[in-house]
Structure 1
Amino acid sequence: MIARIQQGHRTIAFPDTIPALPERFRGRPQIDSSRCLEGCRRCAESCPTDAITIESTRTFSVRPLSEKMLHRKRSAGPVLDLGKCLFCPECQNACPEGAICYTQDYRLATRTREALVLRDQTLALAEALDEEARRLFGRSLRLRQVSAGGCNACEADVNVLNTIVFDLGRWGVQFVASPRHADGLLITGPVTQNMKVALQKTYEAVPPPKLVIAVGACAISGGPYVHHPEVSNGANSVVPVDLYIPGCPPHPLTVVDGLVRLLGKLTPEELLRYDEQVREHCNIGKGGNGNVCDASPSPTRKAAPARPRRP
């Protein structure tokens, strides 16, 4: 009993305090295409989910002094789809020049599927709902969690949001058993054929207006099961999605961050201060490489053999 009394307050003071993450945690990847070797495709060939493609050229315009507008082409380097990414280190290990590395930035949620495709160092993080939606959901959001054929990793990390460590209820977000009592759905898993009709019926049972949140690579794109005949390659092929939270599985803080942004729980000033605090904590800025990896080429780094391409 005394030990319980002395343990104090255990809930993370989010967003005022950024908790320490494990050294091995891999958050938002950074790409430095200027390091890419001409014709190199090792990162793309090593990716188990084809999340990386290589843009060979990109057109840009310049106007030199006393000359007409010129259109030139240059190498664009890797393009990484966070919706497919498993956050494994295969691409980082395969790159001989250190063009790809992972930071500890856990802020990954976006409002659109297209925003998850990284072509440079920026990521358009989720914006808040409109004023009317915030009026309806801002103080109380009830979600029905649908496990649409997942491996239970995303489900487990969503479940811990109800513990005293994260205390999702302080933001007014709770999970309910019936879709008729819910304001929206939180979907995990690649939506297998056996779950497709169940997901559609659950979505229809939620009274409008309603929100849909896709959590994890499987729910966004199919993840490691993409293009398998028994999956639907993500929830957005079955129901409209309002918030995408990537990861395999996403860290609980990634989910909390996405929900807080979606509901507009922070004022613009608080959000600006919070984002700056995360950037400083993760050592991210212009040219920053984050805490997880050193983007400088290492003479001892050995490139991993390329994986055989899937038919």
Structure 2
Amino acid sequence: MYQILKQIVKTGIKTETPPQGDASLRVLEQRLQREILDVFGGALAIRMVDAGSCNGCELEIHAVNNAYYNLEGMGIKLVASPRHADLLLVTGPVSRHMEVALRRTYDATPEPKLVVAIGDCGCDGGIFGQGYASCGKIANVIPVDVAVPGCPPTPVAILQGILTAISRGHAPADT
């Protein structure tokens, strides 16, 4: 025990310096807050739908909601019901079992509504493609306003996709 304490005193405190804030992320956050205030009057409600993904994209969406990216601090909240949502974040290739549920979720979301497809699977079917168990990309089932590619996309790319969707307004555009 004495040797361990002696080593601790000899070594001292060894920690890494904290990372510096990313300036581009701060600019993105400020622009996103402005757009949300202009378009939605202060808050954006998002319903996240997993249509059959591997959960890689969900992990990145949860990372966007952590203290570093501070989604709620920007006026964006994740809601449990599509009836309260302004935007749907949909991940994964749409499995045949989720096809009806995704359509019902889309129909339950009040107008005007936005849809953001997250990840390669949501954008083009990814490695799963279209087959007997998969409808393929999200646009095969519901209209998509913005597609965010990546396997999985980074939290900044997800934020950029949300910003692009609300910047385009409420009229559906080509992906």
Length-normalised TM-score, structure 1: 0.43
Tell me the residue number matched to 1:211. Answer: 114
1:145 to 48, 69, 81: 48
Tell me the residue number matched to 1:183. Answer: 86
1:148-227 correspondence to structure 2 within 5 Å? 148-227=51-130
* Structure 1 position 175, deviation (Å): 0.7
What letter corresponds to residue 46 of structure 2 in structure 1? L
| In the alignment, structure 1 residue 239 sits paired with structure 2 residue 127 | no
* Structure 1 position 229, deviation (Å): 1.8
Whole-Å separation in 2 of the counterparts to 1:194 and 1:161:
28
Question: Any idea what the Cα deviations from partners look like across 1:222-270, whole Å, max 9, x if unmatched?
Answer: 1000132211111111111111100010011111122234334xxxxxx
Tell me the residue number matched to 2:25. Answer: 15
Tell me the residue number matched to 1:36. Answer: none
Whole-Å separation in 1 of the counterparts to 2:157 and 2:94:
22
Alpha-carbon contact 1:11-1:167 (below 8 Å) kept: no
Q: Which has the larger radius of gyration?
A: 1
Tell me the residue number matched to 1:67. Answer: none
* Structure 1 position 179, deviation (Å): 0.7
What letter corresponds to residue 110 of structure 2 in structure 1? P
* Structure 1 position 9, deviation (Å): 9.8
Aligned in 2, Cα 1:10/1:172: closer, same or farther, shift over 3 Å?
Answer: farther
Alpha-carbon contact 1:200-1:239 (below 8 Å) kept: yes
What letter corresponds to residue 159 of structure 1 in structure 2? H
Question: Any idea what the Cα deviations from partners look like across 1:129-153, whole Å, max 9, x if unmatched?
Answer: xx9x984436321111000010000
% identical aligned pairs: 40
Alpha-carbon contact 2:122-2:138 (below 8 Å) kept: yes
1:10-159 correspondence to structure 2 within 5 Å? 13-16=23-26, 135-137=38-40, 139-159=42-62
Q: Identify unmatched segments of 5+ residues in structure 1.
A: 1-6, 19-127, 265-311
Aligned in 2, Cα 1:260/1:136: closer, same or farther, shift over 3 Å?
Answer: closer
Query: 2:150 aligns to what SS in structure 1?
Result: coil
Length-normalised TM-score, structure 2: 0.73
Tell me the residue number matched to 2:14. Answer: none
Query: 2:152 aligns to what SS in structure 1?
Result: coil
Question: Any idea what the Cα deviations from partners look like across 1:96-132, whole Å, max 9, x if unmatched?
Answer: xxxxxxxxxxxxxxxxxxxxxxxxxxxxxxxx9xx9x
- CA-based RMSD of the aligned residues comes to 2.8
Whole-Å separation in 2 of the counterparts to 1:250 and 1:164:
19
Alpha-carbon contact 1:10-1:164 (below 8 Å) kept: no
What letter corresponds to residue 262 of structure 1 in structure 2? A
Alpha-carbon contact 1:11-1:165 (below 8 Å) kept: no
What letter corresponds to residue 59 of structure 2 in structure 1? A
Alpha-carbon contact 1:138-1:263 (below 8 Å) kept: no
Tell me the residue number matched to 2:5. Answer: none
| In the alignment, structure 1 residue 254 sits paired with structure 2 residue 153 | no
Alpha-carbon contact 1:134-1:263 (below 8 Å) kept: no
Whole-Å separation in 2 of the counterparts to 1:10 and 1:143:
29
